[in-house]
Amino acid sequence: MIRSNRHSKYDLEYHLVVVTRYRHPVLNNEVTQRLIEISHRLFKNDWNCIISEINTSADHIHILFEAPPQVQLSKLVNNFKTVTSRLIRKEFSGYLKPYYWKPYFWSMSYYIATVSERTHDSVVNYIMLQDKDDPNPT
């Protein structure tokens, strides 16, 4: 969908994947629900982005989002990882304690790619099916 702001018209969509530190399978139902709430708030309020699709597996999150051209993706991802890590670790400290004894929640790396009209449906289907293939659902 073509959007516009004061100075531009754009159609920028991205697929972001962030993995938990050491791929610990800590994204259970409660953590996932809270992570999704935080993600929607952060993307919309702080970055003026729109999340089209979001889903998790036990050890990673997929987010399909639209962003205006002014957004610096590396800063958005860094902010997302910092804020969600801090809030999730604070709210679920008892549950996460056996997994994380240092102040990290996410891996240092991440994956981000642009999504075109041709690939949009494939990416949406891939994200929606994430938890279906999880051999160890939590």
- In the DSSP assignment, the letter for residue 38 is H
Helix axes 73-91, 29-41, angle to 10 degrees: 140
DSSP state of 51: E
Q: What is the pLDDT of residues 85-109, one digit of tens each?
A: 999 988 998 888 777 766 789 999 9
Instruction: Please give the single-letter amino acid code of residue 119.
Output: T
Mean pLDDT of 73-91: 95
Q: Under 8 Å CB-to-CB from 42, ≥6 apart: which residues?
A: 79, 80, 83, 84
Predicted local distance difference test score (pLDDT) of residue 138: 41
Rounded Cα–Cα distance for residues 106 and 91 (Å): 16
Told to judge if 95 belongs to the known catalytic residues of this protein, a careful annotator would answer: no
CB of 84 within 8 A of CB of 105?
yes
What the chain holds in terms of domains, given with CATH numbers, is 3-133 (3.30.70.1290)
User: In angstroms, how far is CA 10 from the centroid of its own chain?
Assistant: 22
For residue 68, is pLDDT > 80?
yes
Of 10, 95, 104, 126, which one is the catalytic site residue? 126
